[in-house]
Structure 1
């Protein structure tokens, strides 16, 4: 793939992600904060697309703005692991919005094995606290020097003791890795998935290939040659 075409594709993916964004950065009292509105139509559209019976069987997504807000507030206020989360400044359940701390970091580079290893470590730490994210888009993770942060958790659940629920998070992360470069060679894909999984194993050993292969709504979207790479990395 030419660099020009790759840049066009990446630009399109970022524009698509921006369309579904519900948050905006503002300045109050000389400080940056983030305001998130859970009833923005673009946010509702995003979750309507995933709220189909076959997906719900594997992970219980919610479209309801109040429920999404409650899930995110619960995660930000209850999670107490090694991954940083933003502090909530204000929450209004009647108007469906929160104001939270702005965290200055960078999105993980999906071509960096070091970055992906750190994402795997972070996800494993979250699972160790019996939380699952549901939505493991790379934009939801931030790297801050030696720390990792999660800035979006509106589909999170604290009912995450089952391996199958944790497997959803990992499988979806593997899918985003494929979508970042649909023409990626299997060996290169193996190296990147291996980095994620090695990081994950450093803090959690709950999920392996036996669980991942059963996440049908995600696995069916990944080419067979790359599924072989996933199996190799997780074996």
Structure 2
């Protein structure tokens, strides 16, 4: 919300400075500007527009990108358990499974195949901060049950965006690890989910279907909900 207010003021400046938005906001004429032109639009002050976005407070809101050393505490492995029937999430540093009261974790799978997680309730760290906004194969949320069991993978990230390619990368990465992917549910932003329905039934439903071959010789497909 705050960014959009300042961006509008940047767009409406006369004459237009031509200075890039973030340079204008941090170093240019936007450095000491109010989020709304209250002199021109006093009615907006009465509506409360921008009252939570003063520049002094806004400037203090900073994201801390984790460096290589800091992100080690959030690195995890996916390992088989229950004779390979299920998938467990364990911390790389200690080898202990994630087993606490937190069920939903943000995750990022980096391009070098490292998986990082953080409790969803952690307000100061997000998907982009976990790996310093570097490119990622996939990102979203993990639903982790008792004894660290991985129950669900949801590809919902505002920064990295959930796409079919995200699912393909994550799914094949898990297959390469020898994990039983059939024990895990996968969900994609936009109403897609992985289903065990047959190709014939999926097509008969009249819903959009994307078919993917997996490394195990079987077939995985996404069906629009």
Please state which structure has a larger fraction of its residues in helix: 1
Please state which structure has a larger fraction of its residues in strand: 2
Higher relative contact order (CA 8 A, sep 6+): 1
